[in-house]
Structure 1
């Protein structure tokens, strides 16, 4: 039984079964939490829907050439908040719904008899094929995505590929707004595809890469400088703000947490720092889990941050995370079949204890200590490590936080109706 291989205080009893399984499977198991108090019966989970529940519509969509998306509501909200022209948002919405008029869709609609990719004559042109796996698109992505990420990036299914890249703020050399860069790159790949098919425009893989990157950087620069030649609505909706870490009020503690999944396979890690109203270090942690996703790592970090704060006797706590998705999952109801139901249940149980906890979102610029600890976790062996003192290399960032050093960022300007 699973219960026989799980220690409530120390986690998996790996020494009892690790010699019987391959290493990659052990690393997958490391990141799975067991809740011995849940009292839930074993159940089957349908992995083609976001909540783990079977629906006839999701089964139909899975086998239909016109595959319709079952991505969660937070994904669609993220699309409409991208720092890109409105036409690119609409494009990403259509791509996520499986509504791009690729040749496979055109054949399904009896518009053509040939469903093959214009660049790969032996392969049907699906959305995923042309946007990622086509010989031209792949040549572009290979130059953009770090080498250690190639295996993971090109192995994801279509919806998981979109969701992971739209949900991430950082990726390789791109920091702060990878989701918008990803969307722009994808849009210009599709634009070139149509120019090639209908206008006879032809570029080599190298030239296409240069074209796509130049266009993406051009828009990004225009956005950051406030020069928006499209989508005037956003010109008023966003403004530059100075982001910094802020100490809590007297009598409160603040726990900043962060999670990440890096490398191939994706090793998940998390980190957190607990400080008081004077910015004094009260405790911290580094955690290196097994293979997992970024959102799983964020939830791990929040869980361990809450556990540490409670252990340290903090009864008035602000917990800050730069993952709005993770905070939304905690606040909103999820079914027992949800992929992250166990860890969400553990977090909610902790929140219901006899203390006052405020969950708050911050941007990465205000979460630099936790971000550093999350990345630093990768130098440790697998496991969670409490830090009674901050690592020496972290003290400079802590001092900057204490001095109120801030960093500019384009943020959504809230209207009076939002308050």
Structure 2
């Protein structure tokens, strides 16, 4: 199990074998294959670094590895502050292994293969799951209904399927074999609860499985009816357990009134929370004050692996002074890509001789890591520390280097924060590239894989065009890919 997620994080590279340890980023940690002939000694990762250990020796990498492996290695930030190499849990961004994360990843394959053997529409089932998790009730009831639909409650039938020898009937009616549907829905001792309900649940009589019933019938229900059902089956299971383990009997007549009281408490709590929530002001992109430049970056992963990133550098008048775009084969994690886009944006700012830079991105996690550096052995932490080191070489004064990493406007969601200034009506026309809408364009990259090359070609042409250096406001693009043009103009 550990082999699926454990990987070496490179510090000085002296304790990690090139051919013996998993250290190159991949979907699953693996070791590299040693070439039959080596033109120079290369046993440890430090042998692949330049003399001072600050960066990779690209000439050596080109001799030893193919282009794919070389690009993966170059994507690894050298964490010189880490000192010795460390082990990291690659399946969590913190790099730390916990029993909870280990169990979750160990069970992912099992859960993915789990099937109830029901002949129900897959799209309808997906819609049901999405609706379930959005119900206006506390998570306890939603998780319980999910478990009931999956059939993973410890009923007599479920325990027998796991190899336990339990020769018992339903503890409530003592007249039928106990499976999940019987225990929560079909038991004769529960029927009065459904009769007393404020909603019509009579369609349960035509089904024998909870998931099948809800996928087929609940599409016409209001969210309130489904929320009441989730609370009702929870109390039905609680009643069953109290009788089975504590010999405590709760009358069936008391069940629905309990459900109503609980729903009233939930609604009152939700109303109180809604009144106490402060309405956040709408945040718009603002021009930086002179002498600052503002760097806006964004990134997105690709379904086929890797991802794309880009950014705009604008001055105190709001005009674009520079732009960058980049595609990488690895990583595909959007959080890592966001951090890498910040580093590339700062490199662009340095080329433009900027001394005062404000950075805005939409990843709160990256912002927090930059504000509070730590010693975690993770790829994200290594990239963030590399960014902080770069700011010290970019701007010697400590006060200014701190301002470079002032990313106070990160919200984690472009839909709730207008971080890109919208173009004025005179700047928008058919076939035009919305220069100020760059972040939205990057989000579309991951959705239009067939036109990815066309989009990349357009942006590279813009990147190399002199228009950027003279602040042209209008650029007309002609392309033979209708989908690519449509994606950009949207």
TM-score (norm 1): 0.51
**1:318 has 2:358 as partner:** yes
Structure with more contact order per residue of length (Cα contacts < 8 Å, sep ≥ 6): 1
Which residue of 2 is the match for residue 304 of structure 1? 344
- Superposed displacement of residue 285, structure 1: 0.9
- Superposed displacement of residue 314, structure 1: 2.1
**1:42 has 2:82 as partner:** no
List runs of 5+ in structure 1 lacking aligned partners: 68-82, 117-191, 216-227, 398-419
Which residue of 2 is the match for residue 371 of structure 1? 439
Alignment map for 1:9-408 (pairs within 5 Å): 12=58, 15-19=62-66, 23=68, 28-29=72-73, 32-35=75-78, 37-38=80-81, 40-47=83-90, 50-55=93-98, 86-87=136-137, 100=147, 105-107=152-154, 112-113=158-159, 197-198=209-210, 201=213, 203=215, 211=219, 231-232=270-271, 233-234=273-274, 237=277, 239=279, 242-263=282-303, 265-291=304-330, 292-352=332-392, 353-354=396-397, 355=400, 356-357=403-404, 358-362=406-410, 364=414, 365-367=418-420, 369-372=437-440, 374=442, 379-380=455-456, 389-390=467-468, 395=473
After superposition, the C-alpha distances for 1:286-313 in whole angstroms (9 at most, x for unaligned) are 1111132111111111111122223323
- Superposed displacement of residue 240, structure 1: 7.7
- Superposed displacement of residue 337, structure 1: 1.3
- How far apart, in 1, do the equivalents of 2:286 and 2:70 lie? 40
- How far apart, in 1, do the equivalents of 2:275 and 2:208 lie? 32
After superposition, the C-alpha distances for 1:195-216 in whole angstroms (9 at most, x for unaligned) are 9734962656xx99xx49x98x
1:87 aligned counterpart, secondary structure = coil
Structure (1/2) with the larger strand percentage: 1
List runs of 5+ in structure 2 lacking aligned partners: 1-43, 111-132, 163-203, 224-266, 421-435, 446-451, 476-490
Structure-2 change in CA distance of 1:391 and 1:260 (3 Å): farther
- How far apart, in 2, do the equivalents of 1:110 and 1:48 lie? 36
- How far apart, in 2, do the equivalents of 1:278 and 1:91 lie? 53
- How far apart, in 2, do the equivalents of 1:236 and 1:396 lie? 46
- Superposed displacement of residue 315, structure 1: 2.3
After superposition, the C-alpha distances for 1:393-417 in whole angstroms (9 at most, x for unaligned) are 99469xxxxxxxxxxxxxxxxxxxx
Calculate the aligned-residue CA RMSD, in Å. 5.0
Q: How many residues align?
A: 277
Structure-2 change in CA distance of 1:249 and 1:295 (3 Å): same
The answer to whether the Cα contact below 8 Å between 1:254 and 1:320 also exists between their aligned partners in 2 is yes
1:201 aligned counterpart, secondary structure = helix
- How far apart, in 2, do the equivalents of 1:350 and 1:88 lie? 45
User: Which structure has the larger Rg over C-alpha atoms?
Assistant: 2
Structure-2 change in CA distance of 1:325 and 1:51 (3 Å): closer
TM-score (norm 2): 0.44
